[in-house]
Amino acid sequence: MASKIKNLTVVSYNMHGFYQGIETVKDLLCNTLCPDVLLVQEHWLTPANLYLFGENITTHYAYGSSAMADRITQGPSVGRPYGGVSILIKNKLRSVTECMFCADRFVIRVGSVIIINVYLPCSGTSDRLSIIDDVLQEAWSWRLKYPDCSVVIGGDLNTDLDKCNDALCCINNFANNHSVVRGDANFPDKRRQTYVNESLGHSSVIDYFICDKGDDIMDYSVLDPEFNLSDHLPVVIRCKCVYSDGLPTHAPKVKQLRWDHADLILYYNTMMSLLYPLYNNLVQFETVCHESNNDVLHNFIDCCYNKIVESSKYSADLHVPLHYKNYYKFWWSEELSSLKDKAIKSNKMWKEAGRPRSGPIADLRYADKRKYKKML
């Protein structure tokens, strides 16, 4: 099948916690942008909770890793969660996507593009420069293994590449040695702050894309979502990608019995009424089973088994909801929907007023945002 050059839309977003960022992630995936690949950092999920991406998102397939694995094995977790990276791939691209490495960073290949999701250590981290150098050199090793592919490194670099510091020198040395460029290099008029902490009054540019073929970057922008509980803004690039038009592979949508929403009392009562006659048959058969041959025994066991299965299925159909796994949001409610709508409206009003730092409009925005965040 012939290969074609296509545009690949890639977004990088630091969630600052799964529940703080998941609504923004869903908005990004459902709007007109609908990125092909979404790189997320700091979802803070434990290994046992990585399934939450799949429960909340059906348009994309999630590859993920947790930074909490070692912490969990050491006993009860103390302090706030941290770290974790994931990559969400549009379902139609799964047939041309290969997951090549999964650890504290993620490496995938989509057609002719190697995409690497990184979260570099912040200032004050022990051996920070060594970690940064190791991550970048390992990222480039994948480029060497696949010389026909281009490489895109995206994520939270935790350093401003326009301000002189030790981390900048380390990253610049890597960029100079391997002739890689920033994703915003050809779009200086679109550069803006990607980290905005309103409570502390801090802002900077620490979320980037780095690539080895600057001319393949067709567009770059920093998004300003209608509502965003993270202190990071999503960064977007559109790059060239070569892959074949294969048939898309879709994960089968399977409905599940949701026992957590079942009427268990009615279920047990129905099962009792259906199986009690079987109990009488078992008692009667027990008195004559020693006189029966093997064929009779086998037939009786098969009948009992079929009766139990049919009764279980009939009772479940009556009293246990059957839905797709993402049908229920156990943490969502009508109150949360109302608070989210209010927060979006006050945030829009704040933007239209010129983003004031104080006054009644700013106070209303902060109050609505705080209520919504507290409920999450």
| Cα 86 off chain centre by | 6
The lowest-confidence range among 71-75, 215-219, 239-243 is 71-75
Query: Are residues 79 and 24 part of one domain?
Result: yes
Residue 77 placed within a domain: yes
Q: What is the mean pLDDT of residues 119-146?
A: 89
Would the pLDDT of 293 be above 70?
yes
Query: Are residues 132 and 95 part of one domain?
Result: yes
Residue 306 placed within a domain: yes
Asked if residue 120 lies in contact with residue 131, where contact means CB atoms within 8 angstroms, the answer is yes
Residue 249 placed within a domain: no
Domain holding 150, by residue range, is: 3-244
- State the pLDDT at residue 249: 47
Query: Are residues 275 and 201 part of one domain?
Result: no
Domain count, the chain: 3
Q: What is the mean pLDDT of residues 17-31?
A: 89
Query: Are residues 225 and 80 part of one domain?
Result: yes
- What is the DSSP annotation of 276-292? HHHHHHHHHHHHHGGGS
Query: Are residues 91 and 129 part of one domain?
Result: yes
What are the CB-based long-range contacts (under 8 Å, 24+) for 55-58? 55/325, 55/326, 56/22, 56/26, 56/326, 56/329, 57/25, 57/26, 57/29, 57/88, 57/326, 58/253, 58/324, 58/326
- pLDDT tens digits for range 323-359: 876 666 555 566 777 778 888 888 888 888 888 888 8
Query: Are residues 161 and 68 part of one domain?
Result: yes
Query: Are residues 208 and 270 part of one domain?
Result: no
Burial class (CB in 10 A: 0-12, 13-18, 19+), 217: buried
Residue 250 placed within a domain: no
Query: Are residues 268 and 171 part of one domain?
Result: no
The mean pLDDT value of the chain amounts to: 85
Buried b (16+ CB within 10 A) or exposed e, 264-287: eeebeebbeebbeeeeeeeeeeee
Indicate which CATH number applies to the domain containing 130.
3.60.10.10
Query: Are residues 261 and 219 part of one domain?
Result: no
Burial class (CB in 10 A: 0-12, 13-18, 19+), 305: exposed
At 371, the pLDDT band (50, 70, 90 cuts) reads confident
Query: Are residues 209 and 88 part of one domain?
Result: yes
- Domain limit, last residue, from 244, 264, 280: 244
The lowest-confidence range among 26-30, 72-76, 122-126, 278-282 is 72-76
Query: Are residues 213 and 170 part of one domain?
Result: yes
Report how far residue 117's alpha carbon sits from residue 102's, in angstroms, rounded to the nearest whole number.
Answer: 10
- State the pLDDT at residue 181: 92
- Domain limit, last residue, from 221, 244, 267: 244
Query: Are residues 103 and 67 part of one domain?
Result: yes
- State the pLDDT at residue 266: 92
